[in-house]
Amino acid sequence: MEFPAFLDEVPDGLRGRVALVDGVLHMSAELRGNLEMVSFFGRLRRRGILTYEFHPPKDFDAKYAHDAARSFRGENAIQQFAIELLSKAYEAGASDIHLTDFGPYTLIQFRCLGMLNDHTHLEGDFGRQVIACIYQTLGQSGDACFSPSERQDGRICKREYLPAKVHSVRVHSEPLESALSISGVGISMALRLLYDSTSATGNLETRMGLLGFSKSHYETVDFLTRRTGLTIISGPTGHGKSTLLKHVMEAMVDRNPGKAFYSIEDPPEYPLKGVRQVIVYTKEQLERFSAYVDAIAGAMRADPDVLMIGEIRYGASAVAAIDAALTGHAVWATIHANNAFGIISRMISLLAKHFEKPLEHLCDHNVLSGLEYQRLVPVLCNECKIRMLDIPENEREYFIPLDVQQRLIRRAENIENVYVRGEGCERCNRRGLSSQTVAAEVVATDQAMLGFLRAGNTEKAYEHWKIEYNGVDYVQHALQLIQAGTVDPYLAEERLGVPLDFNHVLSGGHRK
Ligand SMILES: [Zn+2]
């Protein structure tokens, strides 16, 4: 456990001018000979901090101002540890932190490139204190008190607790059955670090290119940004829906400075340049639903051109999205679904309580413009990836299971350029992977397609998209990435959640 216990004792006169980084005390040079400093360092030496460095004040500000602020602000060691944890996760490129209290100990894991890795273990009491501190002291939430036996949500958005580029952190905790714990209850806490790891800027084509979309994806989305009506982005949690939405909105703002952009998110995931982000006020979990729908109605009265609805979660927000589209607005939203056409059935289940014939309302050509689905797949490290055909045939199975090989051969046109994950190297932190990219499908609706959908014939709509628009589904997109040597076939299957020879039409998978 590495937390500096002396932090509270920093004399006021030295605050912000000293920083402790990895056991070395860094000081701004004007403190040289300062009596307060001499006696402070004397105390540190007795605690085992033996190394120090002076820096010209300018250099200190440039290099250590952030650490100085962090290291010496914490109320106590536990808070300090929690703040450092966020910072370490960010530096490791993690999207999430998992803290699991099993009773005798708490396991801390980071999710990097979609995969969970152990970060450290804490002793039981300390671990529970860190968990409570994250929720109670760092976070802001409806319930001020952390209760291990309840499901709770919160959010960290105070700048002083967050690494510079992290916009906010979403906090969620669940009680766990735990035989090892004295109380019988363990805790699973998940922290989602909200930041844009791509930091793409520029026009829509550049931004989408950096996120991994193909030229044809871009062309379809670009077409959709010029239409009114509802476009819905879908995919599992943590697969980049909000990131795409952010870039679409910002690119639209750049192109149309004369339009009014509003967003309703609960809570906002990213700051959106040029977009008015309406705050959803909620006190209790129960009020959340009506507060969200209220905020949408409010934004509608504010004379918007483009409306972004962070996530369609309730029937009433689905109805509001349809109303906004019907009244001639461009509406962009996200939803959880299993693929682009799967958005229809998800929306229908939300709308069923509100409309007698929900399909008629949704699949109207004034309403539904676009459907998108995406998953993130890991990109192989260029330095250490291995060409599949260079691996002797009898050893290939160690790198890629036989059944995956068979499916790949069945579906791929060319396996010359297929690469698999290597041992890992310096460049990729021994992960064998360098980043993530999307496997996506984008559909712009037309009258014929909407006609099939209204009749409940999703297969026909899907075929129409394939034939008339050369529609490439997300599994095919992933296959293209595999054949280009960008993505490992085995990891791709794992991350897509379906086999590479998955056939949407035969399985009826798009109706799930
Ligand atoms: Zn590597």
What pLDDT, on a 0 to 100 scale, did the predictor assign at position 77?
77
- Give residue limits of the domains in the chain: 7-68, 77-194, 199-336, 374-512
Q: What's the 484 CA to ligand 1 centre distance in angstroms?
A: 17
The DSSP annotation for 353-386 comes to TT-SSHHHHHT-TTTEEEEEEEEEEEEEPTTT-E
Q: What's the 380 CA to ligand 1 centre distance in angstroms?
A: 8
Q: What's the 387 CA to ligand 1 centre distance in angstroms?
A: 13
Q: What's the 74 CA to ligand 1 centre distance in angstroms?
A: 37
Q: What's the 407 CA to ligand 1 centre distance in angstroms?
A: 26
| Tokens linked to 85 | 């944890």
What pLDDT, on a 0 to 100 scale, did the predictor assign at position 511?
39
Amino acid at position 295, single letter = A
Which stretches of 23-166 are assigned E, i.e. beta strand? 24-28, 51-55, 94-101, 105-112, 115-123, 140-141, 152-156
Report residue 115: phi and psi, to 5°: -115, 140
Closest listed residue to residue 223, CA positions, set 446, 464, 505, 17: 446
Are the C-beta atoms of 94 and 110 separated by less than 8 Å?
A: yes
* 199-336 CATH fold: Rossmann fold (3.40.50)
Q: What's the 130 CA to ligand 1 centre distance in angstroms?
A: 34
How far apart (Å, rounded) are the C-alpha atoms in residues 164 and 315? 37
Q: What's the 421 CA to ligand 1 centre distance in angstroms?
A: 9
What pLDDT, on a 0 to 100 scale, did the predictor assign at position 78?
86
Q: What's the 119 CA to ligand 1 centre distance in angstroms?
A: 20
What pLDDT, on a 0 to 100 scale, did the predictor assign at position 509?
44
Dihedral angle sign, alpha carbons of residues 319, 325, 328, 331: positive
Q: DSSP letter at 244?
A: H
Closest listed residue to residue 24, CA positions, set 59, 66, 71, 61: 71
Q: What's the 218 CA to ligand 1 centre distance in angstroms?
A: 30
| Tokens linked to 244 | 């795409």
Q: Helix 315-326 vs helix 288-301: angle between axes, to the nearest 10 degrees?
A: 10
DSSP H helix total and E strand total for the chain: 18, 19
How far apart (Å, rounded) are the C-alpha atoms in residues 79 and 171? 15
Are the C-beta atoms of 460 and 452 separated by less than 8 Å?
A: yes
Q: What's the 486 CA to ligand 1 centre distance in angstroms?
A: 13
| Tokens linked to 326 | 């019907």
Q: What's the 422 CA to ligand 1 centre distance in angstroms?
A: 7
Q: What's the 430 CA to ligand 1 centre distance in angstroms?
A: 6
Q: What's the 414 CA to ligand 1 centre distance in angstroms?
A: 24
What pLDDT, on a 0 to 100 scale, did the predictor assign at position 369?
98
Q: DSSP letter at 427?
A: T
163-176 core/surface letters (b: 16 or more CB in 10 A; e: else):
beebbbbbbebebb
Are the C-beta atoms of 18 and 61 separated by less than 8 Å?
A: no
Q: What's the 426 CA to ligand 1 centre distance in angstroms?
A: 6
Q: What's the 362 CA to ligand 1 centre distance in angstroms?
A: 47
Q: What's the 214 CA to ligand 1 centre distance in angstroms?
A: 25
Q: What's the 433 CA to ligand 1 centre distance in angstroms?
A: 6
Q: What's the 87 CA to ligand 1 centre distance in angstroms?
A: 24
Answer whether 77-194 and 199-336 agree in fold: no
Closest listed residue to residue 215, CA positions, set 228, 206, 224: 206
Radius of gyration of the chain (CA): 26
Q: What's the 415 CA to ligand 1 centre distance in angstroms?
A: 21
What pLDDT, on a 0 to 100 scale, did the predictor assign at position 344?
96
| Tokens linked to 5 | 């216990």
Q: Which residues, 6+ apart, have CB-to-CB distance to 208 below 8 Å?
A: 217, 218, 221, 244, 247
pTM: 0.79
Are the C-beta atoms of 434 and 360 separated by less than 8 Å?
A: no
What pLDDT, on a 0 to 100 scale, did the predictor assign at position 377?
97
Q: What's the 431 CA to ligand 1 centre distance in angstroms?
A: 7
Q: Which residues, 6+ apart, have CB-to-CB distance to 125 below 8 Å?
A: none
Q: What's the 101 CA to ligand 1 centre distance in angstroms?
A: 33
Q: What's the 116 CA to ligand 1 centre distance in angstroms?
A: 18
Q: What's the 93 CA to ligand 1 centre distance in angstroms?
A: 16
Q: Is 22 helix (H, G, I), strand (E, B) or coil?
A: coil
Q: Which residues, 6+ apart, have CB-to-CB distance to 190 below 8 Å?
A: 96, 97, 98, 99, 171, 172, 173
Are the C-beta atoms of 70 and 62 separated by less than 8 Å?
A: no
Closest listed residue to residue 194, CA positions, set 167, 175, 226, 161: 167
Q: What's the 374 CA to ligand 1 centre distance in angstroms?
A: 26
How far apart (Å, rounded) are the C-alpha atoms in residues 340 and 337? 7
- The CA dihedral of 271, 276, 282, 288, to the nearest 10 degrees, is -100
* Cα→Cα distances 310→246, 278, 326, 367, Å: 10, 11, 19, 18
How far apart (Å, rounded) are the C-alpha atoms in residues 269 and 237? 13
How far apart (Å, rounded) are the C-alpha atoms in residues 83 and 102? 22
Q: What's the 432 CA to ligand 1 centre distance in angstroms?
A: 4
Closest listed residue to residue 89, CA positions, set 78, 79, 81, 100: 81
Q: What's the 487 CA to ligand 1 centre distance in angstroms?
A: 13
Low-confidence stretches of the chain (pLDDT beneath 70): 1-9, 22-23, 46-50, 69-76, 142-143, 282-286, 288, 504-512
Are the C-beta atoms of 309 and 321 separated by less than 8 Å?
A: yes
Q: What's the 321 CA to ligand 1 centre distance in angstroms?
A: 45
The CATH classification of domain 77-194, taken from the options 3.30.450.90, 3.40.30.10, 3.30.565.10, 3.40.50.720: 3.30.450.90
Amino acid at position 69, single letter = A
| Tokens linked to 496 | 């897509």
Cβ atoms within 10 A of the Cβ of 512, count? 12
How far apart (Å, rounded) are the C-alpha atoms in residues 347 and 498? 23
Q: What's the 178 CA to ligand 1 centre distance in angstroms?
A: 39
What pLDDT, on a 0 to 100 scale, did the predictor assign at position 69?
57
